[in-house]
Structure 1
């Protein structure tokens, strides 16, 4: 009986150690995934057509959003493809994932898209490429951001974190 009790204690300690290691690895993987996505943008609302050259469509769109770097986009836009399963609906279109070779060009497009009329008139959305964990954290923080905005405070998101008047808020703080 004592032997079994000792083995059980050893196994419980091992399980605890493995659980902590698993959490650390999961956290590191999420950080690495989030970091690699910083070179990406997603575009929603581009109608899907058979035989389309989606890379050309995206380069033309981004050229309209940021005309001062339009001539460089063919070299800095690396990979463009639609993501997700095809839907049977004719009116639906899958989002487009765009990977840049240059973060500065990606950031310029992201910044210019906020003030450009092109996405609004074409009913498109230019989005960050976030991990599922970051999306869930934002969903938890959204009520606080919305409340702060209604109170006239400056509030927004950067990655999985919210900022209200320059103060960082994480989902763990809630």
Structure 2
């Protein structure tokens, strides 16, 4: 019995340390993804360069037409090219550029015509958290209430929604 007690205390400390490291890792991942945007719906062919295709699309934003190569750091496609579009992750050189780019392009007529959707690049945990409260957000929007997401949290009329 004495051995079990002597092992229990270090085990609790290790569990707490592991939980703390997991929380810190998740926060670091969230922080890193703040520079990213996801692009859904862009059709590609097998041998096309994803970066060039994305840069050409983003040149529709007049103030940044000549700077878009500098504003986009990295661009890559999730998955392999097939007949249906894959998500594209665009990493900007600064968050201010990402936020402004998203604001300018998400409702651009060309993007609407091509049925392109821009979204935040969320962590897996954040996507699951949003998925859990989506039915409540959807219902609130049908009732004409102000419903929105901020990170992994949903708010309806300013009140945080729990799953």
User: Whose radius of gyration is greater, 1 or 2?
Assistant: 1
Q: CA deviation at 1:79?
A: 0.8
Aligned position for 1:94: 86
Q: d(CA) in 2 for partners of 1:39 and 1:32?
A: 12
Q: 1:115 to 1:60 in 2, by over 3 A?
A: same
Tell me what 2:71 maps to.
Answer: 76
Q: Is the 8 A contact 1:137 1:161 kept in 2?
A: yes
Uncovered stretches (5+) of structure 2, i.e. residues with no partner: none
Larger fraction in helix: 1
Q: How far is the alpha carbon of 1:138 from its aligned partner?
A: 0.1
Counterpart pick for 1:34 among 24, 30, 41: 30
Q: C-alpha displacement at 1:160, in angstroms?
A: 0.5
Alignment TM-score, normalising by the size of structure 1: 0.85
State the superposition RMSD in angstroms: 1.7
Query: What residue is the counterpart of 2:155 in the other structure?
Result: 163
User: How far has the Cα of 1:149 moved from its partner?
Assistant: 1.2
Please state how far the C-alpha of 1:155 moved relative to its aligned partner: 0.7
1:18-71: CA deviations, max 9, x gaps?
11211111111111101100101111222222332322221221222x322222
